[in-house]
Amino acid sequence: MGIIGEQLDIDFVVSTGDNFYEAGLTGVDDPAFHESFLDIYTHPGLQKQWYSVLGNHDYRGDVEAQLSPILRKMDSRWLCLRSFVINAEIVEMFFMDTTPFVDKYFNKPKGSVYDWSGVLPRERYLSSLLKDVDSALRESRARWKIVVGHHTIKSAGQHGNTEELNNRLLPIIQANNVDLYINGHDHCLQRIKTPDSPVQFLTSGGGSKAWRGDVSWPNPEELKFYYDGQGFMTVQVTEAWIDVVFYDIGGEVLHQWSTADSLLSTV
């Protein structure tokens, strides 16, 4: 990953959540910050800004610790917020806090304790978040729009589709011409494109605990790529095109997909 990052001279790194497995951080002094971030991503190619969203396992710890500026003082690369927007002019990226959408974490937590401080009352939080992302997407003048969240919208992996996001977030991103939805959660790499949606659904969750062996999608033609193993992906963007590449942990290319702006590509 570091070698590819150095070769491409990447601008930044995105973490799709579950940043500290299996139960987030206990506080800003938790040694897991060193063990799972500082002492791991040491390659020169990864000494860039990191933008991170929260995953469900992060909510099992002290959420405010991951959001704390104290961690940013420990390593200036680190930035984790609940939801935020990065404007790179030709592309705008919308980072979403998806965990509070999922009913089972509230209704059937299966013995896990979640840190819902800053989220309750839940419906007010979700309504405000959806209103804000809809407004930001509508106001965006970027050529390309990318939404990043931890949970899947469409997935052939173990967790499958997240129905709450299909019902509440998907209509918004489709109405606002989002190009890519990038998520983690399922421990695999995959790309799904369905005929009823213009969005490319990309999973980059191959950081650990892969090789689950669970693959299920009703229409094989829609599952453009699936790798049940560890790896990562890159996204390169120009005004004229987007190029997505999936790699295994050794940096070997597994799958590549690109799309061009039909107007600009003919000029």
Tokens of 165: 């996001």
Tokens of 123: 């419906």
Alpha-helical runs (H) found in the chain: 2-8, 32-33, 63-67, 69-74, 104-107, 122-139, 163-168, 170-175
DSSP string, 62-86: -HHHHH-HHHHHH-TTEEE-SSEEE
Distance between CA 121 and CA 228 in Å, rounded? 37
Choice among 57, 150, 159, 185 that is catalytic: 159
Establish whether 34 is a catalytic residue. no
Q: Around Cβ 136, how many Cβ atoms within 10 Å? A: 17
Taking alpha carbons only, the member of 103, 167, 156 closest to residue 130 is 167
Where b means 16+ CB within 10 Å and e means fewer, 103-121 reads eebeeeeeeeebbbeebee
Distance between CA 165 and CA 153 in Å, rounded? 6
Residues recognised as catalytic: 159
